[in-house]
Structure 1
Amino acid sequence: MTIRTDVAPSTLPVELLSEGVQVEYLDGRTTFYRGVPEKADETLTTGPGKAVHVLVTDPDGTEGVMMYVNDRKTHEDILESTGVGRVILDEGETEEIFPGVTVGTPDGMRCRVQADLEVARGRVFVFVEDDWGEESYELVDES
């Protein structure tokens, strides 16, 4: 198996639409995360074996940075050409991927995304996918 490395993200155009979230890559292609994101209270733990993408936008949701968490399938060249970043974590590791946004792998199978929204100073979205479906979340302060 090829060893994958961390890749730094670039700022990308984002559109928050009534039917979902659209991100435009540096190469001009777009991806669309369907559905209005469900609200989650500053911390989200995914199910095991899910693909996890974290998008942090400006407060208006017009631009942002996207990170793939533990994606071992996508080659570095593809990530760099699209502007998407990647972080690779071992079991039990935690890393701040953006100011105020931390990801971790408490048991090596699940991903935990936590946001301090005052520090992040924007909106934090988490997209969770597998072969059977996709889910969208926005981390919010529900206190």
Structure 2
Amino acid sequence: MSARNDVPPDTVGVDLLDHGVEVEYTDGRTTLYRGVPEPVTDTLTTPPKKETHVLVTDPTETEGVMLYVNDLKTHDDVLDSTGVGRVILDEGEEEEIFPGVTVRRLGGMRNEIEADPAVARGRVFVFVEDDWSESSYEFVAEDAVDDTDADANEA
């Protein structure tokens, strides 16, 4: 099978930890996306040639769906066995991958993600990584960031 086609996701387990986000794949294996996700309120643009993984949790925050964006390495059989989906976009294309979550393929092998957690009805995480680094992001409402800033200023 090809690694250049869309693959629908299945439900995966999610554990939100104080040191990262753990995903349990449908085959029972787990992976940990390390670090507290950085809050994003509007649009996230990834650096070029980085892997982009989007995770949207359900309202209970114990399960969700995950998609790899423009992943050309992972074989369909692996995606099928893990429950992770894949979306392939050509430059200039965009797709609403989940309600309230849109991904665009920009020039220079970059992705742009917009998300509204209220519409998604869960938490929206984006993990950006390559062989040397990984970054975690979470889309939050603007007022959630303002509240965090106010709390930090009171300390």
**Considering the TM-score relative to the shorter chain, is it more than 0.5?**
yes
What is the root-mean-square deviation of aligned Cα atoms in Å? 1.2
Residue 48 of structure 1 aligns with an amino acid whose one-letter code is: P
Indicate the SS of the match to 1:105: strand
TM-score by length of 1: 0.95
Q: Is the 8 A contact 2:3 2:73 kept in 1?
A: no
Tell me, in whole angstroms, the C-alpha distance in 1 between the residues paired with 2:28 and 2:137.
Answer: 25
Give unpaired runs (5+ residues) of structure 2.
Answer: 144-155
Q: Is the 8 A contact 1:40 1:138 kept in 2?
A: yes
Q: Which runs of 4+ in 1 moved over 3 A?
A: none
Counterpart for residue 24 of structure 1:
24
Q: CA deviation at 1:117?
A: 2.1
Indicate the SS of the match to 2:7: coil
Q: Is the 8 A contact 1:4 1:75 kept in 2?
A: no
Counterpart for residue 124 of structure 1:
124
Residue 153 (structure 2) pairs with residue 134 (structure 1): no
Q: Which has the higher helix share?
A: 2
Q: CA deviation at 1:59?
A: 2.9
In the TM superposition, what whole-angstrom CA distance separates every residue of 1:22-81 from its partner, at most 9, and x where no partner exists?
A: 000011100100001010113111111100000000233211000000000000011001
Counterpart for residue 50 of structure 2:
50
Indicate the SS of the match to 2:13: strand
Tell me, in whole angstroms, the C-alpha distance in 1 between the residues paired with 2:3 and 2:40.
Answer: 33
Residue 53 of structure 1 aligns with an amino acid whose one-letter code is: H
Residue 106 (structure 2) pairs with residue 106 (structure 1): yes
Residue 68 of structure 2 aligns with an amino acid whose one-letter code is: Y
Give unpaired runs (5+ residues) of structure 1.
Answer: none
TM-score by length of 2: 0.88
Counterpart for residue 9 of structure 2:
9
Q: CA deviation at 1:3?
A: 5.2
Tell me, in whole angstroms, the C-alpha distance in 2 between the residues paired with 1:17 and 1:69.
Answer: 24
- Aligned-residue sequence identity (percent) comes to 69
Q: Is the 8 A contact 2:44 2:114 kept in 1?
A: yes
Residue 77 (structure 2) pairs with residue 77 (structure 1): yes
